Each structure stands twice: as structure tokens, then as C-alpha cells.
Amino acid sequence: MRVSEAEMAGSRRYLLLLGTLSLLVYGGIAWLSQGFMYGQGHAQRPILAFVGLYIAAWLFSMLAFRQVRQSPCQRLEVWLLMAFACLFRLVLLFSQPIQEDDFYRYLWDGEVLANGLNPYRVAPLSVLNFTKGLSPSAELPLRAADEDDLPRLASIPAHDGRFALILSRVNHPAVPTIYPPLAQAVFALSALAAPGSLLALRLIFLGFDLAICGLIVAVLGHLKLNRSLVLVYAWSPLVIKETINSSHYDVVPTFFLMLTLLLYVKKRVLLASFSCALAILGKIYPLLLLPIFVGKMVTTHSRRQALLGLGLVIGVVGLGYAPFVAAGSMLWQGTLAFAERWQTNSLLFPFVQSSIGERWAANSVIALLLAFSVLCLLLRHEVRDDQEFLWINFFALGLLFLCSPAGNPWYFLWLVPFLCIFPLRSWLLLSGLLGLYYLWFYCLYHRTAETFRWILWVEYLPFYALLVWDWLKKRENRQEI
């Protein structure tokens, strides 16, 4: 359908209005962030106002999405969307982190590695105790080789007061770092550029974040879809809040995952395998997708090429971990602690665990369910087709998020790029509802933590209801055909 110049001008004016309103909302979030000083005024924090602004930003992004979906892609329109996307991020670049402190661990790990030390060998609490002249806790066993690192580690906060503060604020300090080798490399890069600087860390994440936008545009172009749909990611308040304000690292492995997918659909198998290895070195989640990637290589190339690609993935991952193997079992201590203990903002996993009883058994059931689901996806869908290939990756990651014991909003970041290709109403709704996660802190500070159980239902139930409704409508339409 041909669109007149007047209609295109009207569309741009509407996007300008929504972009301006969204910019005011992010300005409001930046202003509110001043009320979130670390360790101060918990009960007075403007959490309800923040959640309201988050939902407003999501509503404006959905109105903009509806507009661009109805109009053909124009180069100027994409640039307009990206210009606003950059402004939203710049407004939050200097904001106070809202209810998140993971970045303290990033800054500490980065400085440890930048000093030539192994961040997996010693838990931050051991270093903290050493600086205070306390004996190592019985709960924090240290090998003799690891004890030798303590004086060097303790010299970091001793010579730089910033790291004394950072070390004291690392969350879960009794647990060695959970972050894989690629994460450590990024943290060390930040430490080398500007030790202890949250701004340096944010600028690195911003670079990966904007690069993801470029990859999404490339994938949309390859599939001959409207490139303006990059708006779903570029204007997503979840992405902007969790990447820039909260400074969560997940944007880095998400970049390598999207690069992997683009290279696979472009049939650049070896480069895709190398990128896949980097994604796995960034976070363990892409291991779930490895059978899908191998299936893609077998169908589009050959078994020999698939084995070569798989060997490359294994080799690069092995090389990535090689510099840290001296940590021994401590290399996996953080990951095991996460698997055994962490549970937050999840609706399905508590039901599974309460039905089975033991945490390890619940984890095993979820792992088997995910493996079975990937197998079914490979049997049911044709991975030779690029859109089908992307769909089953989306489905597998979506199921992983829903079944995970930790449903933190920043883990959803892995799924947002797929919503530019498959803008399903239910998942778009969930990206907005996940902002309700921050009400947990409001309930906690006001001693009404039990109330959050009901908020959790409000967070997920509309998503599941719309998901089932869409599935039933789709099935009904197929029967009519």
C-alpha cells in the first residue's frame, strides 16, 4: 500500500511527540534516582513513582511500536527512532542506580583481574576479613595457594579508598564470582580504562547496547522485515533501565548471541561458531541453543562442517577458561551457589520445587524439560528456514526464562531482540509487567513482604492469559483454513 508524503509526515510528528514524552519520563527517572542513595532512606525511596514512570515509558514505546508497524520502513524514520533511543540512554548515563548493586562486583572483579590476580580463587568476604585483621571464616575455606593471594588482594583497597568502599558493597561477598571469563575480560577492560568508575562500565555497556540495535536492523533487513521494528528493543524501558541505570552486564553476551544468529542466517558458519563460543563464555545460557546451532549447520552445510563448528566452540570455550583453571573447584563455586540457592521473581519454579521437594530435583526436572523441548523444536521445525531457526531459539530462551528460579528483569534482556522479529503481544506485555519486580523492595522496606506474592501473580498472570488466548485464536484460524 502506497503511503502519501502527508501520512509519512504525520507519522514522524507522532513519533516525535512520543519520543519527547518518553524523554521527559526518562528525565523523571533520572531525577527520582537521587532518592536511591546506597544504604540510606529505604522506606522513603520513591519506588512507587519509579514503577509508574517505567510503565509510562513502556506505554509510550508500545504506542510508537503500533505506529511504525503500520507504516513502511523509511531510512529517516529509523534514524529518528535511534536518535531518541540514544537520548534516552544519555539521560540515564549519570543517574543513581535504582535498587541494584551488582556493578560493585563487576568493578571489584575487573580490578582484581587488571592486577594480574584470579577473581575466582578468593571470595570478597575473605579479602574484607583480611583487611580487618580477622581470621578467615570456617565457611570460607582457602587453599594454601589461595591464601598467598590475600595480601595482594588486600593491597587494592589499601592503596585506593574507592575500592575499600566497593569491596564493602559487593553483594553475596561470601560467594566467589559467578561471572564467566568474557565477563571478567570486560570488567578488566573497564578497570584498565578507569579503575572503579561506574561511568566507564556504563559506556562499555552502552557500546554493546547500541551495537545490538545495529545487529537487529541487519537481521530485519535479511528477513525483509520492517527495519523500524528495532524500536521494540531500542525504546524498551527494560533494556534502558537494566543496561544503563542498573548497569547489568547481560547486554554483552546478548550482543554475541545476536551476532551468532546473524552469522548463522548469513551462512558464515565458522564465524558464527566463534561468536557462539564467546556468548557461552559470556553466560552459560547459550549452551541450551547449541543443539539448534548444530542442527542448522547440518541442514545448511554438512555434518563435517557441523563437527568443525562444534569443535571450534569447544576449543574457544576451553581457551577462555584456561587462564583461570588454577582456581580449581572455586572456578564453579559461584555457579553452584546460584543453582542451589538463588530464587527470585519466579512464578513457575516455586510450584515445581514445592511439588518435588528438593531443590536439586527441581533443577533436574527443569533441565530435562528444557532438553526435551529443544529436541521437540528441532523435530517439529525446519531449521533450514531462517525465520523458523530464529523462532525456535526464541522459544527455547523464553521457556528457559519462564522456568528459571531467578526471573530477574535483566535476564529477559536476552529475549527483547527477538521481539523485534516476533512482536507477540503477550511477550511485549511481559516486558512492561516485569517493572513490577521493583515493588518487592517497596514491600520489603514497609514490612509487607508477603504482599509481593500477589504482585507476582499480577506480574505474570496477564502474560499467561494473553499467551493462551493468542494460541487458541491461532489454532482456531488454522482449523478454519
- Cell digits of residue 401: 526464562
- pTM value is 0.93
User: In which band, very low, low, confident or very high, does the pLDDT at 195 lie, cut at 50, 70 and 90?
Assistant: very high
User: In which band, very low, low, confident or very high, does the pLDDT at 475 lie, cut at 50, 70 and 90?
Assistant: low
Q: Which residues contact 335 (CB under 8 A, 6 or more apart)?
A: 178, 284
Side-chain-facing half-sphere of 412: CA atoms under 13 Å: 26
Q: Write down the pLDDT at residue 3.
A: 59
CB 252 within 8 Å of CB 208: yes
Beta strand residue intervals within 183-290, DSSP E: none
Q: Write down the pLDDT at residue 75.
A: 64
For residue 144, pLDDT beyond 60: no
From the list 235, 217, 219, 236, the residue with the least C-alpha distance to 227 is 217
Q: What percent of the chain has pLDDT over 90?
A: 65
Q: Write down the pLDDT at residue 423.
A: 94
Q: What is the mean pLDDT of residues 328-343?
A: 83
The residues facing 406 across adjacent strands are 344
User: In which band, very low, low, confident or very high, does the pLDDT at 4 lie, cut at 50, 70 and 90?
Assistant: low
- Span of 44-48, 99-103, 270-274, 473-477 with lowest mean pLDDT: 473-477
For residue 481, pLDDT beyond 50: no
CB 370 within 8 Å of CB 349: no
